[in-house]
Amino acid sequence: MRLSVQPLIAAPRIQRRVAELGAQIRADYQGRDLVLVVLLKGAVIFASDLMRRLDNNVCVDFLRAASYAGTESTGEVTVRTIPETPLSGRHVLLVEDILDTGRTLAAALQWARSQQPASLAVVTLLDKPSRREVEAKADYTGFTIDDHFVVGYGLDYEQRYRQLDSIHVLEHE
C-alpha cells in the first residue's frame, strides 16, 4: 500500500494561529510564572514556536504519555516520562499536538493533577472532537479538524513526517 500526503493547513496559517494563541496565553497568565509541560514527542515543534510568543515568566519541561502504534490507538495510555520540574503550587499548561480519543490527555491530566499544581490548563494545536472516547477538553485550541489522520509540524506516522512545516492528511492509496 502506498502512502500519500495532501496539504491541509499551510505553514503561514499555523504560524498566525500560534501567534494568536501566544497572545491569548500571555494575557491570561500576565504576572504569573508558567510551566509549559510539553507532551513528547508530537508537541515539540508547536511548543517551540508557542513559547517564543510568551514572556520571560515561562519555563518548559516534558512528559511522555503514549499508546499509539500506527494509526490506531491501542487504548491504554501510560505516563512513561515525567518532568524534572516540581509542579506543586505552579501554574501548569499542558501542551499537546492533537486531541483524538482523549485518552492521552486524560492520562496526562490525571498525572498532572496528582502533583497539586496551583492551576492546570491545556493547549492543543489540533482537535478531532468527532473521535472522542473519553472526556477531554482543551482550554486553548489551534484548529478543530475533521476525522483525518494528519502528519507534519511535529505529528508523525510511525515516527516519520514530523519535519514537514505544514500539516498534511496522510492517505493510503
Q: Which residues here bind ligand IMP, judged by CB under 6 A?
A: 39, 42, 68, 73, 77, 96-105, 149-151, 155
| Residue that has been written with the C-alpha cell 502512502 in this structure | 3
Strand residue runs (E) in 45-157: 58-69, 72-81, 91-99, 119-127, 140-144, 150-151
Binding region for Mg ion (CB under 5 A) out of 15-23, 34-42, 51-59, 136-144: 34-42
Residue 149 burial (10 A CB sphere; 0-12, 13-18, 19+) = middle
Strand residue runs (E) in 1-118: 3-9, 34-40, 58-69, 72-81, 91-99
Q: Which of 33, 100, 139, 146 is catalytic?
A: 100
Which grid coordinates are listed for 6?
Answer: 495532501
**Does residue 42 bind Mg ion (CB under 5 A)?**
yes
Partner touching 99 among ligand IMP, Mg ion, none, CB below 5 to 8 Å by kind = ligand IMP
Does 127 participate in catalysis according to the annotation? no
In whole angstroms, what is the distance from residue 38 CA to residue 81 CA?
Answer: 11
Which of 16, 80 has the CB closer to Mg ion?
Answer: 80
**Does residue 154 bind Mg ion (CB under 5 A)?**
no
Tell me how many residues contact Mg ion (CB under 5 A).
Answer: 1
Which of 58, 107 has the CB closer to Mg ion?
Answer: 107
Catalytic residue list = 100
